[in-house]
């Protein structure tokens, strides 16, 4: 997992060649005006998911993992918190991996919680279980899905 300022995004593009197009989208798109849903960046290799959700609080957020994609999560508005735990420490499968949706859920509790402030991003790799939407109130965020196999 990586947590940093969007202004520092360029230092992470060597980790996966597709991260660059995801960060360029974040830098150049009018994110606040994008409608909810999927927005293509590089076909199925890189795309954005824009959401307007209500925070579930820490007790309502569930740990999830992805195998095909890594996430770049960015909070545009609201009070987002995210939980994190290494996948290797997750043992209580709540929903097994769904290949079509690229997601599995765990009943384990996050080892750490952190706020995701405006101007920051968090990258979650396939070995990072994360519990998004643990904030409160209305949340407006974008998640850039980046194919992990390009690493």
Q: The domain containing residue 54 runs over which residues?
A: 2-150
Cα→Cα distances 114→36, 66, 91, 110, 122, Å: 24, 20, 22, 10, 10
Predicted confidence (pLDDT) per residue in 2-26, tens digit: 999 999 999 999 999 999 999 999 9
In this predicted structure, what is the pLDDT of residue 74?
98
Predicted confidence (pLDDT) per residue in 52-91, tens digit: 999 999 999 999 999 999 999 999 999 999 999 999 999 9
**Where residue 83 sits, what CATH number does that domain have?**
2.60.120.370
For residue 150, pLDDT beyond 80: no
Q: What does DSSP assign to residue 59?
A: H
The pair of structure tokens assigned to 93 is 């499968």
Domain count, the chain: 1
Q: Name the pTM for this structure.
A: 0.96
In this predicted structure, what is the pLDDT of residue 39?
98
In this predicted structure, what is the pLDDT of residue 99?
97
Predicted confidence (pLDDT) per residue in 114-125, tens digit: 999 999 999 999
Q: For the chain, where are the alpha helices, taking DSSP H only? A: 19-28, 57-60
The Cβ of residue 39 has, within 10 Å, a number of other Cβ atoms equal to: 16
Cα Dmax for the chain: 40
Q: Torsions phi, psi of 75, nearest 5?
A: -90, 125
Predicted confidence (pLDDT) per residue in 99-148, tens digit: 999 999 999 999 999 999 999 999 999 999 999 999 999 999 999 999 99
Q: How confident is the model at residue 151 (pLDDT cuts 50, 70, 90)?
A: low
């Amino acid at each position: 997992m990586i947590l940093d300022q969007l202004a520092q995004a360029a230092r992470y593009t060597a980790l996966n060649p597709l991260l660059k197009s995801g960060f360029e989208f974040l830098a150049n798109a009018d994110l606040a005006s994008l409608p909810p849903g999927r927005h293509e960046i590089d076909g199925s290799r890189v795309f954005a998911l824009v959401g307007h959700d209500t925070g579930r609080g820490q007790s309502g957020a569930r740990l999830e993992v992805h195998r095909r994609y890594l996430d770049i999560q960015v909070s545009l508005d609201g009070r987002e918190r995210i939980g994190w735990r290494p996948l290797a420490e997750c043992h209580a499968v709540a929903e097994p991996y769904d290949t079509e949706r690229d997601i599995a859920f765990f009943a384990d509790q996050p080892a750490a919680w952190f706020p995701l402030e405006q101007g920051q991003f968090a990258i979650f790799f396939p070995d990072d279980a994360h519990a998004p939407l643990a904030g409160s109130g209305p949340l407006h965020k974008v998640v850039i899905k980046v194919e992990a196999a390009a690493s």
